[in-house]
Structure 1
Amino acid sequence: MPETEFEPADQAAAFDPVATARRILRTAKSGSLATVAADHGAPFASLVVVACDTDGTPLLLLSDLAVHTRNIQAEPRASLLLCAQDIADPMQDARVSINGALAACADERIRRRFLARHPEAEGYSGFKDFSFYRLEVRDAHLVAGFGRIHTVAASGLLLDLAGAEALMAAEPGIVEHMNDDHADALALYATKLLGAPDGNWRITGCDPEGIDLVGEAGVRRMVFDEPANDAQAVRLRLVALAKRARERGIQRKTL
Protein backbone atom coordinates (compact mmCIF):
# COMPACT_ATOMS: atom_id res chain seq x y z
CA MET A 1 0.00 0.00 0.00
CA PRO A 2 1.26 3.51 -0.75
CA GLU A 3 2.15 5.77 2.12
CA THR A 4 -0.37 8.57 2.44
CA GLU A 5 1.29 11.84 3.39
CA PHE A 6 -1.84 13.97 3.22
CA GLU A 7 -5.20 12.79 1.93
CA PRO A 8 -8.53 14.18 3.20
CA ALA A 9 -10.93 11.41 4.21
CA ASP A 10 -13.63 12.46 1.73
CA GLN A 11 -11.17 12.20 -1.20
CA ALA A 12 -9.30 9.05 -0.20
CA ALA A 13 -12.09 6.61 -1.07
CA ALA A 14 -12.42 7.76 -4.69
CA PHE A 15 -8.75 8.41 -5.44
CA ASP A 16 -6.25 5.66 -6.31
CA PRO A 17 -2.68 7.00 -6.12
CA VAL A 18 -1.11 3.83 -7.52
CA ALA A 19 -3.39 3.81 -10.58
CA THR A 20 -2.78 7.53 -11.10
CA ALA A 21 1.00 7.18 -10.89
CA ARG A 22 0.94 4.21 -13.26
CA ARG A 23 -1.22 6.10 -15.76
CA ILE A 24 1.16 9.06 -15.84
CA LEU A 25 4.15 6.74 -16.20
CA ARG A 26 2.57 4.76 -19.04
CA THR A 27 1.36 7.78 -21.02
CA ALA A 28 4.31 10.18 -20.72
CA LYS A 29 6.42 10.75 -23.83
CA SER A 30 8.88 13.16 -22.22
CA GLY A 31 9.98 14.34 -18.82
CA SER A 32 12.58 16.23 -16.81
CA LEU A 33 15.59 14.21 -15.71
CA ALA A 34 17.43 15.44 -12.60
CA THR A 35 21.00 14.23 -12.11
CA VAL A 36 23.90 15.25 -9.89
CA ALA A 37 26.42 17.40 -11.75
CA ALA A 38 29.74 15.57 -11.92
CA ASP A 39 31.83 18.74 -11.83
CA HIS A 40 30.22 20.72 -9.00
CA GLY A 41 27.68 18.43 -7.29
CA ALA A 42 24.63 20.64 -7.81
CA PRO A 43 21.35 19.32 -9.27
CA PHE A 44 21.17 19.35 -13.08
CA ALA A 45 17.81 19.07 -14.91
CA SER A 46 17.35 18.23 -18.58
CA LEU A 47 14.58 17.27 -20.99
CA VAL A 48 14.44 13.61 -22.08
CA VAL A 49 12.02 11.43 -24.04
CA VAL A 50 10.65 8.44 -22.15
CA ALA A 51 9.22 4.99 -22.77
CA CYS A 52 8.39 2.04 -20.49
CA ASP A 53 9.60 -1.51 -20.14
CA THR A 54 6.96 -4.23 -19.81
CA ASP A 55 6.72 -3.77 -16.04
CA GLY A 56 6.64 0.02 -16.32
CA THR A 57 10.32 0.71 -15.62
CA PRO A 58 11.19 4.04 -17.31
CA LEU A 59 13.43 3.76 -20.38
CA LEU A 60 15.69 6.48 -21.79
CA LEU A 61 17.94 6.81 -24.83
CA LEU A 62 20.92 8.99 -23.95
CA SER A 63 24.01 10.24 -25.75
CA ASP A 64 27.43 9.86 -24.15
CA LEU A 65 28.08 13.46 -25.18
CA ALA A 66 25.23 14.83 -23.05
CA VAL A 67 25.94 16.40 -19.68
CA HIS A 68 23.32 14.25 -17.94
CA THR A 69 25.02 11.08 -19.21
CA ARG A 70 28.40 12.17 -17.88
CA ASN A 71 26.66 12.93 -14.60
CA ILE A 72 25.11 9.48 -14.24
CA GLN A 73 28.36 7.77 -15.16
CA ALA A 74 29.80 9.38 -12.02
CA GLU A 75 26.62 9.17 -9.89
CA PRO A 76 23.77 6.98 -11.23
CA ARG A 77 21.13 8.21 -8.79
CA ALA A 78 18.50 10.30 -10.58
CA SER A 79 14.93 11.52 -10.46
CA LEU A 80 12.52 11.68 -13.40
CA LEU A 81 9.58 14.11 -13.32
CA LEU A 82 6.60 13.14 -15.49
CA CYS A 83 3.41 15.16 -15.90
CA ALA A 84 -0.10 14.34 -17.02
CA GLN A 85 -0.89 15.18 -20.65
CA ASP A 86 -3.02 18.07 -21.93
CA ILE A 87 -2.58 20.18 -18.82
CA ALA A 88 -4.47 23.47 -18.69
CA ASP A 89 -3.12 24.37 -15.24
CA PRO A 90 0.04 22.37 -14.42
CA MET A 91 -0.28 23.04 -10.69
CA GLN A 92 -3.75 21.50 -10.60
CA ASP A 93 -3.01 18.28 -12.46
CA ALA A 94 -1.07 15.18 -11.53
CA ARG A 95 2.69 14.71 -11.74
CA VAL A 96 5.03 12.06 -10.42
CA SER A 97 8.74 12.14 -9.56
CA ILE A 98 10.29 8.70 -10.00
CA ASN A 99 13.45 8.16 -7.98
CA GLY A 100 16.11 5.54 -8.52
CA ALA A 101 19.37 4.79 -10.31
CA LEU A 102 20.06 4.70 -14.04
CA ALA A 103 21.77 1.69 -15.60
CA ALA A 104 22.72 1.10 -19.23
CA CYS A 105 20.93 -1.82 -20.86
CA ALA A 106 21.52 -3.49 -24.24
CA ASP A 107 18.48 -5.81 -24.14
CA GLU A 108 16.68 -6.01 -27.50
CA ARG A 109 13.30 -5.75 -25.75
CA ILE A 110 14.30 -2.35 -24.36
CA ARG A 111 15.27 -1.12 -27.82
CA ARG A 112 12.07 -2.44 -29.39
CA ARG A 113 9.74 -0.94 -26.80
CA PHE A 114 11.49 2.44 -26.81
CA LEU A 115 11.46 2.75 -30.61
CA ALA A 116 7.82 1.65 -30.78
CA ARG A 117 7.01 4.69 -28.63
CA HIS A 118 9.53 6.97 -30.40
CA PRO A 119 10.05 5.74 -33.99
CA GLU A 120 11.72 9.06 -34.85
CA ALA A 121 14.67 7.97 -32.69
CA GLU A 122 15.49 4.92 -34.81
CA GLY A 123 17.77 6.93 -37.09
CA TYR A 124 20.23 7.74 -34.31
CA SER A 125 19.57 4.94 -31.81
CA GLY A 126 22.31 2.84 -33.39
CA PHE A 127 25.01 5.50 -33.15
CA LYS A 128 27.97 4.39 -31.04
CA ASP A 129 27.57 7.26 -28.60
CA PHE A 130 23.90 6.44 -27.82
CA SER A 131 22.80 3.88 -25.23
CA PHE A 132 19.51 2.78 -23.70
CA TYR A 133 19.04 3.13 -19.95
CA ARG A 134 16.61 1.77 -17.38
CA LEU A 135 15.71 3.80 -14.31
CA GLU A 136 15.78 1.17 -11.56
CA VAL A 137 12.98 2.52 -9.40
CA ARG A 138 13.35 3.07 -5.66
CA ASP A 139 10.04 4.87 -5.15
CA ALA A 140 7.86 7.61 -6.60
CA HIS A 141 6.42 10.85 -5.23
CA LEU A 142 2.96 11.66 -6.59
CA VAL A 143 1.31 15.08 -6.43
CA ALA A 144 -2.18 14.88 -7.92
CA GLY A 145 -3.73 18.17 -6.87
CA PHE A 146 -4.47 19.81 -3.54
CA GLY A 147 -4.31 17.33 -0.68
CA ARG A 148 -3.31 14.40 -2.88
CA ILE A 149 0.35 13.79 -2.09
CA HIS A 150 1.60 10.22 -1.84
CA THR A 151 4.76 8.17 -1.80
CA VAL A 152 4.34 5.08 -3.99
CA ALA A 153 6.73 2.17 -3.48
CA ALA A 154 8.43 0.55 -6.46
CA SER A 155 6.37 -2.58 -5.81
CA GLY A 156 3.21 -0.54 -6.33
CA LEU A 157 4.37 1.47 -9.32
CA LEU A 158 5.75 -1.47 -11.31
CA LEU A 159 3.95 -4.62 -12.45
CA ASP A 160 4.87 -8.01 -11.06
CA LEU A 161 5.61 -10.05 -14.20
CA ALA A 162 5.85 -13.44 -12.48
CA GLY A 163 3.86 -15.87 -14.61
CA ALA A 164 3.75 -13.52 -17.63
CA GLU A 165 6.74 -14.97 -19.48
CA ALA A 166 4.54 -16.31 -22.29
CA LEU A 167 3.01 -12.90 -22.87
CA MET A 168 6.40 -11.18 -22.91
CA ALA A 169 7.59 -13.64 -25.56
CA ALA A 170 4.42 -13.10 -27.62
CA GLU A 171 4.33 -9.30 -27.32
CA PRO A 172 6.16 -8.45 -30.59
CA GLY A 173 3.75 -10.62 -32.56
CA ILE A 174 0.70 -9.18 -30.81
CA VAL A 175 1.82 -5.61 -31.52
CA GLU A 176 2.60 -6.34 -35.17
CA HIS A 177 -0.68 -8.22 -35.72
CA MET A 178 -2.85 -5.52 -34.16
CA ASN A 179 -1.15 -2.71 -36.08
CA ASP A 180 -1.20 -4.56 -39.41
CA ASP A 181 -4.64 -6.19 -39.27
CA HIS A 182 -6.79 -4.41 -36.69
CA ALA A 183 -6.25 -0.67 -37.06
CA ASP A 184 -10.04 -0.25 -36.92
CA ALA A 185 -10.18 -1.87 -33.48
CA LEU A 186 -7.33 0.30 -32.19
CA ALA A 187 -9.20 3.41 -33.34
CA LEU A 188 -12.33 2.18 -31.55
CA TYR A 189 -10.42 1.61 -28.32
CA ALA A 190 -8.96 5.12 -28.46
CA THR A 191 -12.07 7.04 -29.49
CA LYS A 192 -14.97 5.10 -27.94
CA LEU A 193 -13.40 3.79 -24.74
CA LEU A 194 -10.69 6.34 -23.96
CA GLY A 195 -12.30 9.52 -25.30
CA ALA A 196 -9.44 10.33 -27.68
CA PRO A 197 -9.94 12.14 -31.00
CA ASP A 198 -9.98 10.32 -34.33
CA GLY A 199 -6.57 9.64 -35.82
CA ASN A 200 -4.03 7.03 -36.79
CA TRP A 201 -3.77 5.03 -33.56
CA ARG A 202 -1.28 2.21 -33.13
CA ILE A 203 -0.33 -0.11 -30.30
CA THR A 204 3.22 0.21 -28.98
CA GLY A 205 3.23 -2.27 -26.12
CA CYS A 206 1.27 -4.96 -24.34
CA ASP A 207 1.59 -6.19 -20.76
CA PRO A 208 -0.58 -8.15 -18.31
CA GLU A 209 -2.42 -5.00 -17.21
CA GLY A 210 -3.25 -3.47 -20.60
CA ILE A 211 -1.99 -1.91 -23.83
CA ASP A 212 -0.41 1.40 -24.79
CA LEU A 213 -1.78 3.34 -27.77
CA VAL A 214 -0.02 6.18 -29.58
CA GLY A 215 -1.55 8.64 -32.03
CA GLU A 216 -1.27 12.24 -33.15
CA ALA A 217 -3.07 13.26 -29.94
CA GLY A 218 -0.49 11.59 -27.69
CA VAL A 219 -0.44 8.38 -25.69
CA ARG A 220 -3.42 6.57 -24.17
CA ARG A 221 -3.43 3.66 -21.75
CA MET A 222 -6.17 1.02 -21.93
CA VAL A 223 -6.36 -1.18 -18.84
CA PHE A 224 -7.86 -4.66 -19.05
CA ASP A 225 -10.76 -5.66 -16.80
CA GLU A 226 -8.66 -8.61 -15.63
CA PRO A 227 -4.93 -9.39 -15.96
CA ALA A 228 -3.79 -11.36 -19.02
CA ASN A 229 -0.62 -13.45 -18.82
CA ASP A 230 -0.52 -15.05 -22.27
CA ALA A 231 -1.44 -14.29 -25.88
CA GLN A 232 -4.78 -16.09 -25.76
CA ALA A 233 -5.88 -14.16 -22.68
CA VAL A 234 -4.88 -10.88 -24.35
CA ARG A 235 -6.86 -11.85 -27.45
CA LEU A 236 -9.98 -12.47 -25.36
CA ARG A 237 -9.59 -9.11 -23.58
CA LEU A 238 -9.12 -7.24 -26.87
CA VAL A 239 -12.09 -8.93 -28.55
CA ALA A 240 -14.32 -8.08 -25.58
CA LEU A 241 -13.13 -4.48 -25.55
CA ALA A 242 -13.72 -4.10 -29.29
CA LYS A 243 -17.27 -5.37 -28.83
CA ARG A 244 -17.82 -2.92 -25.99
CA ALA A 245 -16.44 -0.05 -28.07
CA ARG A 246 -18.72 -0.87 -31.02
CA GLU A 247 -21.75 -1.09 -28.73
CA ARG A 248 -20.88 2.25 -27.18
CA GLY A 249 -20.61 3.80 -30.63
CA ILE A 250 -24.05 2.47 -31.58
CA GLN A 251 -25.57 3.76 -28.34
CA ARG A 252 -24.22 7.26 -28.95
CA LYS A 253 -25.62 7.31 -32.48
CA THR A 254 -29.11 6.52 -31.16
CA LEU A 255 -29.11 9.25 -28.50
Structure 2
Amino acid sequence: MKIPAHAPLHLLHTAAVGTLATHARQPEGFPYPSVLPFAPDALHRPTILVSRLAEHTHNLHADPRAGFLAVDAPDGDVLGGQRVTLLGRFEPVDSSPERVRRYLRYHPDAERYLVLGDFTFWVMKLERLRYIGGFGAMGWLDGAELDRLPPLAASEEDALIAEFGRRFDGAGGVELLGIDRYGADLKRDGVRRRFVFDGVGSDIETLHAALDICIDRHAD
Protein backbone atom coordinates (compact mmCIF):
# COMPACT_ATOMS: atom_id res chain seq x y z
CA MET A 1 0.00 0.00 0.00
CA LYS A 2 1.06 3.60 -0.51
CA ILE A 3 3.09 5.33 2.19
CA PRO A 4 2.69 9.13 2.51
CA ALA A 5 5.81 10.92 1.33
CA HIS A 6 8.43 11.17 4.10
CA ALA A 7 5.95 10.07 6.79
CA PRO A 8 8.39 7.55 8.37
CA LEU A 9 11.16 10.15 8.27
CA HIS A 10 9.10 12.75 10.14
CA LEU A 11 7.99 10.16 12.69
CA LEU A 12 11.61 9.39 13.55
CA HIS A 13 12.04 13.08 14.34
CA THR A 14 8.85 13.24 16.43
CA ALA A 15 9.31 10.30 18.80
CA ALA A 16 11.76 10.76 21.67
CA VAL A 17 11.75 7.15 22.90
CA GLY A 18 11.92 3.86 21.04
CA THR A 19 11.89 0.12 21.68
CA LEU A 20 15.10 -1.71 20.84
CA ALA A 21 14.83 -5.45 20.15
CA THR A 22 18.14 -7.32 20.25
CA HIS A 23 18.96 -11.03 20.14
CA ALA A 24 19.29 -12.40 23.67
CA ARG A 25 22.41 -14.36 24.50
CA GLN A 26 20.70 -16.24 27.35
CA PRO A 27 18.28 -17.78 26.58
CA GLU A 28 19.88 -17.75 23.17
CA GLY A 29 18.02 -16.32 20.18
CA PHE A 30 14.99 -14.87 21.96
CA PRO A 31 14.00 -11.27 21.19
CA TYR A 32 15.13 -8.97 24.02
CA PRO A 33 13.14 -5.70 24.00
CA SER A 34 14.19 -2.61 25.94
CA VAL A 35 12.99 0.99 25.94
CA LEU A 36 15.43 3.87 25.61
CA PRO A 37 15.70 7.44 24.33
CA PHE A 38 17.12 8.14 20.90
CA ALA A 39 17.88 11.02 18.59
CA PRO A 40 17.85 10.99 14.78
CA ASP A 41 21.19 11.58 13.09
CA ALA A 42 21.67 13.58 9.89
CA LEU A 43 20.46 10.53 7.92
CA HIS A 44 17.39 10.20 10.22
CA ARG A 45 18.74 6.97 11.73
CA PRO A 46 18.28 6.27 15.45
CA THR A 47 21.29 7.21 17.56
CA ILE A 48 21.30 5.62 21.02
CA LEU A 49 23.55 6.15 24.03
CA VAL A 50 23.99 2.91 25.98
CA SER A 51 26.00 1.65 28.92
CA ARG A 52 28.69 -0.93 28.27
CA LEU A 53 27.16 -2.94 31.12
CA ALA A 54 23.62 -3.02 29.69
CA GLU A 55 22.24 -6.35 28.52
CA HIS A 56 21.20 -4.92 25.14
CA THR A 57 24.76 -3.64 24.61
CA HIS A 58 26.19 -7.11 25.22
CA ASN A 59 23.58 -8.48 22.82
CA LEU A 60 24.57 -6.01 20.11
CA HIS A 61 28.24 -6.91 20.45
CA ALA A 62 27.32 -10.56 19.92
CA ASP A 63 24.85 -9.89 17.09
CA PRO A 64 24.36 -6.34 15.74
CA ARG A 65 21.10 -7.21 13.97
CA ALA A 66 18.18 -5.51 15.69
CA GLY A 67 14.70 -4.10 15.37
CA PHE A 68 13.73 -0.63 16.50
CA LEU A 69 10.16 0.60 17.00
CA ALA A 70 9.13 4.27 17.18
CA VAL A 71 5.54 5.29 17.91
CA ASP A 72 3.65 8.58 17.90
CA ALA A 73 0.35 8.21 19.76
CA PRO A 74 -0.10 11.43 21.76
CA ASP A 75 -3.71 10.60 22.67
CA GLY A 76 -2.83 7.08 23.82
CA ASP A 77 -4.42 5.39 20.80
CA VAL A 78 -1.44 3.26 19.75
CA LEU A 79 -3.33 1.32 17.07
CA GLY A 80 -4.62 4.55 15.55
CA GLY A 81 -1.28 6.35 15.79
CA GLN A 82 1.77 6.29 13.58
CA ARG A 83 4.49 3.70 14.07
CA VAL A 84 7.53 2.54 12.21
CA THR A 85 9.54 -0.64 12.70
CA LEU A 86 13.15 -0.46 11.55
CA LEU A 87 15.30 -3.47 10.75
CA GLY A 88 19.05 -3.20 10.48
CA ARG A 89 22.36 -3.37 12.28
CA PHE A 90 23.59 -1.15 15.08
CA GLU A 91 27.20 0.00 14.91
CA PRO A 92 29.24 1.75 17.63
CA VAL A 93 30.39 5.23 16.64
CA ASP A 94 32.81 7.67 18.22
CA SER A 95 31.73 10.45 20.56
CA SER A 96 32.71 13.26 18.22
CA PRO A 97 31.98 16.83 19.39
CA GLU A 98 29.37 17.17 16.62
CA ARG A 99 27.57 13.97 17.65
CA VAL A 100 27.65 14.88 21.34
CA ARG A 101 26.31 18.40 20.69
CA ARG A 102 23.45 17.11 18.57
CA TYR A 103 22.45 14.33 20.96
CA LEU A 104 22.49 16.65 23.97
CA ARG A 105 20.20 19.12 22.23
CA TYR A 106 17.62 16.33 22.08
CA HIS A 107 18.44 14.79 25.47
CA PRO A 108 20.26 17.32 27.70
CA ASP A 109 19.95 15.05 30.76
CA ALA A 110 22.26 12.56 29.04
CA GLU A 111 25.25 14.75 29.86
CA ARG A 112 25.50 13.06 33.27
CA TYR A 113 25.91 9.69 31.56
CA LEU A 114 28.62 10.95 29.24
CA VAL A 115 30.60 12.18 32.24
CA LEU A 116 30.71 8.63 33.60
CA GLY A 117 32.72 7.44 30.61
CA ASP A 118 30.84 4.14 30.51
CA PHE A 119 28.35 5.10 27.81
CA THR A 120 28.87 4.86 24.06
CA PHE A 121 26.93 5.92 20.98
CA TRP A 122 25.49 3.40 18.52
CA VAL A 123 23.78 4.20 15.22
CA MET A 124 21.44 1.95 13.29
CA LYS A 125 22.30 1.15 9.68
CA LEU A 126 18.90 0.66 8.09
CA GLU A 127 18.07 -2.23 5.80
CA ARG A 128 14.27 -2.31 5.79
CA LEU A 129 11.45 -0.49 7.52
CA ARG A 130 7.69 -0.89 7.83
CA TYR A 131 5.53 2.16 8.40
CA ILE A 132 1.90 2.13 9.57
CA GLY A 133 0.09 5.45 9.59
CA GLY A 134 -3.52 4.35 9.64
CA PHE A 135 -5.95 2.71 7.25
CA GLY A 136 -4.51 2.48 3.74
CA ALA A 137 -1.20 4.05 4.77
CA MET A 138 1.25 1.25 5.41
CA GLY A 139 3.99 -0.66 3.70
CA TRP A 140 7.66 -1.61 3.46
CA LEU A 141 10.59 0.51 2.31
CA ASP A 142 14.24 -0.25 1.75
CA GLY A 143 16.54 1.68 4.07
CA ALA A 144 17.94 3.72 1.18
CA GLU A 145 14.44 4.95 0.29
CA LEU A 146 14.01 6.83 3.57
CA ASP A 147 15.96 9.78 2.17
CA ARG A 148 17.83 9.87 -1.14
CA LEU A 149 19.18 13.42 -0.73
CA PRO A 150 22.58 14.23 0.77
CA PRO A 151 22.22 15.32 4.41
CA LEU A 152 23.13 18.69 5.82
CA ALA A 153 26.70 18.82 7.06
CA ALA A 154 27.08 19.20 10.82
CA SER A 155 28.71 22.60 10.26
CA GLU A 156 25.72 23.78 8.22
CA GLU A 157 23.22 22.66 10.86
CA ASP A 158 25.29 24.20 13.66
CA ALA A 159 25.45 27.51 11.78
CA LEU A 160 21.67 27.55 11.24
CA ILE A 161 21.00 26.74 14.90
CA ALA A 162 23.39 29.47 16.02
CA GLU A 163 21.64 31.97 13.74
CA PHE A 164 18.03 31.02 14.42
CA GLY A 165 18.19 29.55 17.93
CA ARG A 166 17.74 32.82 19.82
CA ARG A 167 14.93 33.88 17.52
CA PHE A 168 13.08 30.65 18.28
CA ASP A 169 13.57 31.20 22.00
CA GLY A 170 11.83 34.53 21.59
CA ALA A 171 8.95 32.85 19.75
CA GLY A 172 7.15 31.65 22.85
CA GLY A 173 10.07 29.79 24.41
CA VAL A 174 10.48 27.32 21.55
CA GLU A 175 13.81 25.47 21.55
CA LEU A 176 15.40 24.52 18.23
CA LEU A 177 16.86 21.01 18.43
CA GLY A 178 17.74 20.03 14.88
CA ILE A 179 17.33 20.93 11.24
CA ASP A 180 17.27 18.82 8.09
CA ARG A 181 16.09 19.34 4.53
CA TYR A 182 12.49 18.41 5.34
CA GLY A 183 11.77 20.05 8.68
CA ALA A 184 12.89 21.34 12.06
CA ASP A 185 12.76 19.56 15.40
CA LEU A 186 11.45 21.78 18.19
CA LYS A 187 10.78 21.48 21.90
CA ARG A 188 8.14 23.46 23.74
CA ASP A 189 7.04 22.87 27.32
CA GLY A 190 9.17 19.73 27.39
CA VAL A 191 7.40 18.18 24.38
CA ARG A 192 9.17 17.49 21.11
CA ARG A 193 7.43 18.75 18.00
CA ARG A 194 8.17 18.35 14.33
CA PHE A 195 7.71 21.31 11.97
CA VAL A 196 7.41 20.04 8.40
CA PHE A 197 8.65 22.43 5.73
CA ASP A 198 6.34 23.23 2.82
CA GLY A 199 9.05 22.13 0.41
CA VAL A 200 12.47 20.51 0.42
CA GLY A 201 15.30 22.70 1.72
CA SER A 202 17.65 22.07 -1.16
CA ASP A 203 20.01 24.95 -0.28
CA ILE A 204 20.77 27.34 2.57
CA GLU A 205 18.57 30.10 1.16
CA THR A 206 15.56 27.78 1.02
CA LEU A 207 16.24 26.61 4.58
CA HIS A 208 16.45 30.22 5.79
CA ALA A 209 13.06 30.96 4.27
CA ALA A 210 11.53 27.79 5.77
CA LEU A 211 12.87 28.62 9.24
CA ASP A 212 11.53 32.18 8.99
CA ILE A 213 8.07 30.71 8.32
CA CYS A 214 8.49 28.30 11.24
CA ILE A 215 9.30 31.17 13.61
CA ASP A 216 6.32 33.21 12.37
CA ARG A 217 3.95 30.29 12.97
CA HIS A 218 5.24 29.70 16.52
CA ALA A 219 5.33 33.34 17.61
CA ASP A 220 2.82 34.16 20.35
TM, length-normalised to structure 1: 0.77
- How far residue 95 of structure 1 moved from its aligned partner, in angstroms, is 0.9
1:177 aligns with one of 163, 184, 194: 163
Residue 175 to residue 101, structure 1, CA distance change in 2 (3 Å): same
After the TM superposition, which residues 56-135 of structure 1 pair with which residues of structure 2 at under 5 Å, given as runs? 56-106=44-94, 107-135=96-124
Gap regions ≥5 residues in structure 2:
none
Please state how far the C-alpha of 1:19 moved relative to its aligned partner: 2.5
- The one-character-per-residue Cα deviations of 1:125-148 (angstroms, maximum 9, x if unpaired) are 232220011011111111223443
**Structure 1 unmatched ranges of 5 or more:** 5-11, 188-199, 250-255
Indicate the structure with greater strand content. 2
Distance 1:148 1:226 in 2: 21
4+ residue runs of structure 1 moved beyond 6 angstroms? none
Identical pairs, percent: 28
Q: Hey, what does 2:130 align to over in structure 1?
A: 141
In structure 1, C-alpha distance between the alignment counterparts of 2:73 and 2:170, rounded to whole Å: 24
RMSD of the TM alignment (CA)? 2.2
User: Equivalent residue of 2:158, what SS?
Assistant: helix
Partners of 2:218 and 2:89 in 1: how far apart?
40
Q: Secondary structure in 2 aligned to 1:109?
A: helix
Give the TM-score, by structure 2 length: 0.88
Q: Secondary structure at the match of 1:227?
A: coil
Distance 2:75 2:60 in 1: 30
Q: How far apart are 1:241 and its partner, in Å? A: 4.1
Q: Which moved more, 1:224-233 or 1:90-99?
A: 224-233
Of 219, 223, 228, the residue aligned with 2:201 is: 228
Sort the Cα spacing of 1:239 and 1:114 in 2 relative to 1 into closer, same or farther, 3 A.
Answer: same
More helix by share: 1
Name the residue aligned to 1:23: 10
Larger radius of gyration: 1
Alignment CA distance shift 1:215-1:243 (3 Å): closer
